[in-house]
Every structure is written in C-alpha cells, then in structure tokens.
C-alpha cells in the first residue's frame, strides 16, 4: 500500500473503470463535501481522501510514451470527479484569459486528444469525453443525457462551473488546483488479480473504512471464492454485480445508496425467509446465509472434502444468480417497464398511494417463481391496493402493519409452498385481520381527508370516483388517464365550501372532509367563492363529479356528510376485503 498525493496518483497512467463497476453516482451533497474539503485544506497540511484500489491491466502507447493501464477496483467515483474538476478549473482560467490556460493543468486528464480515464461503457465514455473538451457551459447545458450516469456527470460539470464562477483571480484558481494535487492524499492498493479484492476489503472493513452494503456482500462473495481457490467464479461475481449496479442505478426517483441497500434487504428476506433484526444485512449473510465460519473451520476444505466444497460453491453461485435476476425484476417494478401495460398501471396506482415499497419482497418472490406469471401481478395488486386503502389510507395504521405476514408470504411463494389462488386468499385474510368495515365507514365519513391523505392519493381516490360516475352516464368526456391526471398540476382538489370563511357566511365544521372535496380544472376561477356562485361553473365541467353538485340546492355541513356517504359507498364497494 502507498500513501500518495492526487498528483502522484494521476501520474500512474491510464485508468479504466471495469464493466462490473457501478456508474457515476455522485450528486450535489458529495460534490459540496469535496468543495468544502478543498476550502478547508487551505489551512491544513493535508487531507485524507480515501482509498484507491487498482489492478494493473497492461500498457498503451500515446504518442511516443508508453503508459501503464490500471483497472479501478475502488475509487472510481473520486477519480472521475477529480478529472471533471481539473477540466473545470482549466476552462474557467480559459474564460478569464485564454493565454494563461496552461495545458499542464489537464496533462493527466487529456493527452493528445485521448482521455486518461475510461468509463465503463462506450456511450458513457463518449459523453464524458465531450464534457471534458467543451468550454462553453451553455452548450453543455443543452446535452441530453441518456442514463442516470450521464445525468450525474453533466450535473457535476455544471456544478463545478457554477462554483468556480465566484473566482475571478487566476492566481486563486491555480492555488485551488495546487491544493487538490498536493494536499489531497489517498491510500493506493495495487492488487494482482480480482480474487484478491474480497480479501483486501474484508480486512479494510475491520479497520472501519466505509463500504456500501452491496459492496460488502460482493467483496465477501469474492473473498469466499478466493478461500475456495475459484478465481473464475470471482470474475463471474464481478460481472454479475456490474449488471446489478447498472440495473439498480437506472431506477427513477431513488438515490443509489438507498436503492441498493433496500434491494439487498428485500432480496435477503425473500431468499432466506428471515425478517428479524434486519439492520445489518451483510452480517446476516455472513452468519446465517452463506456461513463464513464453515470455511474458517475447515482450512483444507477444497483439498479433502469435495462434496462440502461443491456445496459451498453452489451456495455462492445460486445467491449471486438470484441477486442478478432480482435486480432486473426490481427495476421493472419500480420503473413500471413490463411489456404488459396493465401490470405497469397497477404498479403505478400503488406507487401513487405511496405504499409500493412495502410489497417489493412479494413482487420479487412472484417474479422469481416460474409457476407465477408477471400478469398475476394485476390481480395481486388489486388486493394490495385494497389493503393500502383500508389499512393505511383510511385505517391510519402504522407503516409497517402486516410487514411480517407479507414477508412470510413472499418466502412461501419463493419456495413453492403456496400457489396463486392460495396467495390471493391469504392476502384477503390479511386485510380482514387489519381492518374492519365499521371503522372504515366511520373514517371515510369523518376523517379530515384533505390534511390526512397525501395529495396524490386523494387525487387517485377522487379520480376513481369520477370514473365510477362517468361509467353510469351515457354522455362521457375524455378526461385523460390516471397518470395524466395525477401528474397534471392544472387539475387540483377543490374545496366545494371554501376553506376561507367568507363575510356573511356561516363557518362550517366539515370543510376538510372527503364529502367537501372534488377534482377540478377550474381552481383558479372558482377560488374562495360560495357554493351558489360556483354552480354555473360546475354545470359546464368535464368532470361528472362536479356536474353532480348542481343537484344540491345548498351546501352545508349536512350536505357534506350526505355526499361523503355516497363516496363512502363507492369506496366500500371498490376496495372490498
């Protein structure tokens, strides 16, 4: 191990990010941490910037110079960021005075038109190369990233440009450059082969260096293959984890760390059937699933006990294969990217209700079981939607209600101990166990829905009521799909009796109840007006639920409850136990 400055590190040669590594994932928080460290390092001798782990992979000639090539095992996020920052400094100096933009600043970033850091896919590398070379930030802002990796690369380049605009002195910019290169220090590990990676990181973990849970599991599996003298399997683990990282990174609306940790926990639940004390999944895998002590207890395992050795190899390969397949399913569920649109629509509804994460282990189990078909999710989701509406939305139960039972059902599905028909029955039993019709009726009528239910969930419920009313009419209006309406900011939830007390109008108690809420295109027009002054607008609405209101001569606490009972009946009928 060496302790080197960033300048010495960059002088090593050419760096390549292998295909098995995750894409570039740094966002504003990590970038600001780096910039704060750069600001602080002005007043100290040096700053420790973590560990870089490399494997020498060959030579490449650029011009007349032979450069050593390295695969980056760990540290690709930091190295990528350093390259983007150095280029940003160079371009900022060029903006101030092109004559003072010394190419020495980027000599270890770009060399004779070639990037000295190679990303893990052709598309990402071309995008990265364009970011390194383009001076005009307005052109860069027009780039269209095709993946989350490219989006993060673009945001980093723009973020650094914005940060450096505050500096108008070239001397200050050069000082920042020198501080990064000379005062930032890293530990550099050079390994001989991939199977050593797990061995190194298992040791590093004991010294408290941070790794993600997914990295810990990957390195543990590689470490086991090293102990079993199976280098080919180590390469296979790396390749499949590369696929896993790529798949998970493209899931929308989640940070990389959160989605990876959540995915690993859900996979462990399904694969092991264990849903107790899930705070440290890597430790659980080591002690309960693929047991480390069995290898430690038999130092000559791969020499004298072929059956036990083959069993351990199978455990490693089976779990690795399960993780890879599950990453594809996880992405399909959360991105709603199945070939069957009705499956995607049913998942979108649960996402809108804010509870899809509770059911992810069950989805993994269903999709990993060959006896279950993806289209089975439509019927399953209808029941899970009823569970969500009755238990969480109107039942106001804790967010983890039913989790243990759902996790147990997931394991039963995964291990073929329950079929599709039995699963649906068990899910309906779970609804009955956690909700009662009497309490549900009271809650629908009396809950202050406007303040207690999320806007998206409330929109979905009112929209379903709208579709129900439209279905009873001979003349229908095309109001759009659920996705269009839920995401449409122009369609809002209107208080029929306004929240603001108007002069000369008696205050009402039931303002925020479900019976006083309706979807509208006209919230800006309707505003804080009395019911009678809004009736003519309701009469011309495309929404049947607004047109229905003209049947009321007056609007008060009593009529709010009356309309609430109509919606109550609809909800009880649609989302039965």
3-state SS string for 266-329: HHHHHHHCCCCCCCCHHHHHHHHHCCHHHHHHCCCHHHHCHHHHHHHHHHHHHHHHHHHHHHHH
Residues 6+ apart with CB under 8 A from 2: 187, 188, 190
pLDDT band at residue 523 under the 50/70/90 scheme = low
Question: Measured between alpha carbons, how far apart are the two ends of the chain, in Å?
Answer: 62
pLDDT, residue 108, reads 92
CA distances from 68 to 18, 84, 86 (A): 16, 21, 21
- The confidence score (pLDDT) of residue 558 equals 95
> 404, 400, 425, 422: which is closest to 413 by C-alpha?
422
Strand order in the sheet with 47-62: 2-5, 184-191, 47-62, 65-74, 13-16, 117-118
Q: In the beta sheet, which residues pair with residue 492?
A: 520
- Residue 197 has a pLDDT of 60
Among 68-72, 212-216, 323-327, 520-524, name the one with the lowest average pLDDT: 520-524
Mean pLDDT lowest for which of 86-95, 134-143, 218-227, 526-535?
526-535
Tokens of 308: 């036990």
List, in order, residues 6 or more apart from 229 with CB less than 8 Å away. Answer: 302
The predicted model gives 408-429 an average pLDDT of 98
Q: Write phi, then psi, for 188 (nearest 5 degrees).
A: -115, 120
Res 208: pLDDT:
37
Residue 364 has pLDDT above 80, yes or no: yes
Mean pLDDT to the nearest integer, 506-512: 89
φ, ψ (nearest 5 deg) of residue 464:
-65, -35
**Ramachandran assignment for 300, one of left (phi > 0), alpha (psi -120 to 50 degrees), beta (any other):** alpha
pLDDT at 324 over 70: yes
Residue 271 has pLDDT above 50, yes or no: yes
Task: Quick: pLDDT tens for 544-575.
Answer: 999 999 999 999 999 999 999 999 999 999 99
Mean pLDDT of 288-294: 82
How far is Cα 571 from Cα 353, in angstroms, rounded to an integer?
15
Instruction: Reply yes or no on whether the pLDDT at 577 is more than 50.
Output: yes
- Which residue, among 377, 382, 355, has the nearest Cα to 365 in the 3D structure? 377
Supply the pLDDT for residue 490: 78
Work out the pLDDT band at 502, boundaries 50, 70, 90.
confident
User: Is-contact 145 130, C-beta < 8 A?
Assistant: no
DSSP 8-state code for residue 120: S
Is 530's pLDDT higher than 50? yes
Q: What is the pLDDT of residue 464?
A: 94
Mean pLDDT of the chain: 90
As a whole number of angstroms, the distance between CA 137 and CA 148 comes to 20
């Amino acid at each position: 191990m060496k302790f080197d400055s960033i300048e010495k590190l960059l002088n090593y040669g050419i760096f390549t990010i292998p295909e098995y590594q995750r894409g570039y994932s740094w966002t504003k928080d990590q970038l600001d941490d780096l910039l704060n460290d750069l600001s602080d390092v002005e007043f100290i001798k040096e700053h420790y910037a973590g560990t870089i782990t490399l494997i020498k992979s060959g030579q490449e000639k650029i011009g007349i110079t032979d450069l050593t090539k390295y695969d980056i095992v760990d540290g690709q996020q930091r190295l990528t960021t350093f390259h983007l920052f150095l280029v940003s400094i160079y371009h900022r100096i060029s903006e101030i005075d092109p004559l003072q933009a010394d190419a020495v600043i980027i000599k270890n970033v770009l060399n004779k038109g070639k990037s000295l850091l190679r990303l893990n896919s052709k598309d990402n590398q071309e995008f990265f190369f364009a970011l390194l070379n383009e001076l005009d930030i307005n052109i860069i802002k027009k780039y269209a990233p095709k993946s989350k990796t490219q989006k993060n690369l673009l945001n980093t380049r723009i973020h650094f440009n914005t940060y450096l605009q505050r500096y108008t002195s070239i001397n200050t910019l050069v000082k920042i450059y020198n501080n990064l290169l000379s005062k930032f220090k890293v530990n550099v590990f050079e390994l001989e082969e991939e199977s050593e990676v797990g061995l190194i990181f298992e040791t590093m973990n004991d010294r408290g260096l941070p790794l993600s849970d997914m990295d810990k599991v990957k390195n543990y599996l590689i470490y086991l293959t090293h102990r079993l003298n199976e280098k080919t399997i180590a390469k296979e683990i790396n390749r499949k984890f590369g696929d896993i990282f790529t798949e998970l990174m493209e899931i929308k609306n989640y940070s990389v760390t959160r989605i990876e940790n959540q995915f690993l926990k859900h996979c462990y639940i399904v694969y092991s059937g264990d849903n107790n004390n899930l705070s440290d999944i890597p430790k659980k895998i080591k002690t309960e699933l693929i047991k480390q002590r069995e290898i430690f207890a038999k130092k000559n395992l791969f020499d004298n006990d072929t059956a036990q050795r083959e069993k351990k190899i199978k455990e490693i390969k089976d779990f690795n294969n399960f993780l890879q397949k599950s990453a594809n399913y996880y992405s399909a569920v959360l991105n709603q990217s199945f070939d069957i649109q009705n499956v995607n629509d049913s998942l979108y509804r649960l996402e809108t209700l804010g509870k899809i994460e509770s059911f992810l282990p069950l989805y993994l189990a269903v999709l990993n079981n060959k006896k279950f078909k993806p289209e089975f999710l439509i019927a399953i989701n209808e029941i899970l939607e009823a569970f969500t509406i009755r238990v969480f939305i109107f039942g106001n139960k804790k967010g983890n209600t039913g989790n243990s039972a759902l996790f147990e059902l997931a394991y039963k599905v995964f291990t073929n101990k329950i079929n599709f028909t039995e699963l649906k029955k068990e899910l309906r039993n779970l609804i009955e166990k956690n909700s009662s019709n009497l309490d549900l009726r009271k809650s629908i009528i009396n809950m202050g829905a406007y303040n207690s239910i999320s806007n998206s969930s409330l929109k979905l419920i009112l929209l379903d009521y709208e579709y129900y009313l439209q279905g009873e009419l001979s003349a229908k209006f095309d109001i759009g799909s659920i996705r269009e309406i839920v995401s449409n900011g122009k369609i809002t939830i209107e208080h029929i009796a306004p929240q603001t007390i108007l002069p000369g109008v008696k205050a009402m108690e039931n303002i925020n109840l479900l019976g006083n809420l309706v979807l509208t295109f006209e919230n800006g027009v309707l505003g804080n007006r009395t019911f009678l002054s809004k009736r003519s607008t309701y009469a011309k609405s495309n929404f049947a639920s607004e047109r229905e209101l003209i049947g009321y001569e007056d609007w008060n606490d009593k009529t709010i409850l009356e309309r609430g009972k109509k919606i109550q009946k609809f909800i009880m009928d649609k989302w039965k136990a």
